[in-house]
Amino acid sequence: MTRWLVAMTVLLPACAGRLSRTDAEAHGNVSAVLASSKPALERETRAKPHPTVVLVERSGVRAIDPNTRRELWFHPLRVLGHPAASRRTLVVPIRGNRVVAIDRATGFVRWSVRLPGEALTGLTVAEPFVVAAVTGDHGKRRSRLVGLSAHDGAVRWMRKSPGRFGVPAAQGRAVFVPLDRQVLAFRTATGRELARVDVARPLQAASFSGSNAIGGADNEWVDLGAARITPSRIEDPYAEAFRTVDGIDPGLDDGERLRWWVRIPRDASPPREAVLLSRRAIVAVRLGEGGRAIRTHWLYVSKDKREFVAMHVGRRHVTLVREDGAILRLATEDGQEVDAIKGGEPVRGALLLDLQPDDKPVRLARPDEEWVVEDVRTLLSDGDPRLLPAQQLVSDVLWRDDQPEHREIVMALASGDLRRESTTAAETLRSHAVDLVARPWGESTGDSVDALLADLSVRTSFLRGEQPHALSSLARRAVKTGDRAVVPHLVAHLLHPATSAPDLAEVARALRDLGHPDAVEGVGTFVVRYHADPEVVYESGAMGHAVDYLLAVAGGPPEAALAAASARGTLDRVLMDPFTDPQLRDYIRVRLPEPPVEPASAESSDVPAPSTLAEPEDDGSRHVPALPSSGL
């Protein structure tokens, strides 16, 4: 009798399927659930890892050991969704809303069951359970979450909801699943709801980055274990970081070939490293504030025109699966190919299991290396339309760069000097470059520029006890924004007597690097005011940077003719002043561009050249003096 009562108590709720409302209030503590699930997770991860690449072919699933290059097993299965795996079990969704569980080590098929509901949304495995989200059945209930035994496929529990469960992710004793604007945590063994947390926007998939539980949709995600759940995102829209699942798992479709990988830091700080899988190209970038790519570390383009269908970024290697089944390994640091396994059958997607973890910062190549810029130029010159997302990303990054020669590549694209052909791809890229050039260059977002302007607007005042905090750093940040709104503040600091010599040099350097014509009057005032004062000329590199700025503006484009004339006039006056510091005069004289040639007239030919200034010798061996970068 007692046994019967216990069985009824356990089985009845399980079979009936408890309801998960969509309007319930948040409760519990997701961080605590994560922490409590760790012991079970550790037990699971004690199982020996077997690095495996599971290739999903058109009519089968093939497991390869990437280290030994041996085929482990093959099953003729027609896969209709995204497989999932633990260290021991691979579960594969197939036709008829069925799931097949395969022992990873032996390839033995453990069980095959039909899931309730109509179609699969997503699968996850946390030994000894498999959790599946499925879409509705006959009207009322829109979706279900089902817990199965990983040993025999028996249904252990079920939750129904009028909302739509997203892709679940299980680890240890807890499974996390998005449900509209909330993420729910359930006990993997029983389906008991442990916690529920509100998120800003509906999420579509849960996943794990190391031991961090992540809820994401498209390019946005939240760290569920963080004290404050604030969304992070990748701003560049060329691929998705999370698969879009609108109820039904679309399977291994074209979206697999356009995917962002992001290393999500454990401390909930903004992500810094990302890798874009973009069909034939892989681009490793550094992310700046707001999740925008600001530097290209390296890029790799498939040489034989085939596309990649899966990617795993580990600490040392990036593992790629090509559409012909080939498996490539690149060095994570610099993207150099280190290993390749030949392919065979065409594949639609792949699962990369037990490879190196990606939970620690990876060391990446310096983005300003010449070979990186050369690779970027080569990528932009490639006419393959499949490279367009990668090309648009690297041109965005180039336009955010504070090095003018890098931005010139984008200007060459916009003007048609690079990619002259009239194909659709070239015209799309050109139009993208034209849009970029029409915007201010730099890497900052509107909010960060506002914050920077607020910091830059502080002037030294003894009475108010105010002074700008770390002006040199502010000046360097100002350059990265590329925003013209910073120019008046920088000019004010350049002319302020309280600006220290080191800060003065950084401010002048920032104005030079920005190169904006708006600063011509202020920088001209600085040069005119101090050109005959050796103490200021040599106290820092500021005078050299200011003169460099004026020289650049004087030789500027026709659309900045007024500023060019002003800069030219200032430099001419300084050049002709006999009291100008001699070294400064020599510096300007050899660098000042020749004035535009005007038609010779009888009057002008009679005017002698100023005798105080000798023309620079133009014999190719002339001495080009340099102003010191620091005071003499």
Partner 1 sequence: MPVRPICALATCLLVGEARAAAAPQLDELVVEVRELASSDNLEDAGRLLEMLERGLPPPALVAFLTVARNVPRVVYGNALRKLVDYRRREIRGRAIAALAMLGGSLAREAVLRGLDDPNERVRRLSVELTRIYSDPAVEDALMALREREPELFEPEDEDIVVEVDLSEEDSDEEVMVLEEPV
Q: Which residues bind partner 1 (CB under 8 A)?
A: 460-465, 495-498, 528-533, 535-536, 539, 573-574, 577-579, 612
Find, among 35, 69, 65, the residue nearest to 50 by Cα. 65
Residue appearing with tokens 């590549």: 409
Output the CA–CA distances (angstroms, integers) from residue 155 to 234, 286, 545, in the order listed: 38, 45, 73
Angle between helices 424-438 and 388-399 (to 10 degrees): 20
Helices (H) and strands (E) in the chain, counts: 17, 29
> Of 437, 391, 396, 398, nearest to 414 (Cα)?
437
**How, if at all, do strands 18-19 and 155-161 pair?**
parallel
Which residue lies nearer to partner 1 by CB, 226 or 528?
A: 528
Structure tokens at 388: 């367009």
In angstroms, give the least distance from the CB of 23 to partner 1: 59
The SS3 call for residue 246 is coil
Q: Smallest distance from the beta carbon of 398 to partner 1, in angstroms? A: 38
Q: Tell me the C-alpha distance between 182 and 162, whole Å.
A: 13
Q: How far is the CB of 556 from partner 1 (least distance, A)?
A: 23
Taking the complex as a whole, how short is the minimal distance between the CB of residue 457 and partner 1, in angstroms? 17
**Pairwise CA distance, residues 442 & 289, whole Å:** 12
Cβ 171 to partner 1 shortest distance, Å? 59
C-beta closer to partner 1: residue 4 or 462: 462
Q: Which is nearer to partner 1, 557 or 608 (CB)?
A: 608
Q: From the CB of 499, what's the least distance to partner 1, in Å?
A: 8
Task: Please state, in angstroms and rounded to a whole number, the distance separating the CA atoms of residues 252 and 628.
Answer: 60
Contacts of 457-466 spanning 24+ positions with Cβ under 8 A: 457/489, 459/492, 459/493, 459/496, 459/498, 460/496, 460/498, 460/499
* Phi and psi based region of residue 43 (left: phi greater than 0; alpha: psi -120 to 50; beta: remaining): alpha
At its nearest, how many Å lie between partner 1 and the CB of residue 537?
11
The amino acid sitting at 56 is V
Q: Where are the beta strands (DSSP E) in 326-451?
A: 327-331, 337-341, 347-353
Six-digit token string for 568: 């030219």
Smallest separation (angstroms) from partner 1 to the CB of 491: 12
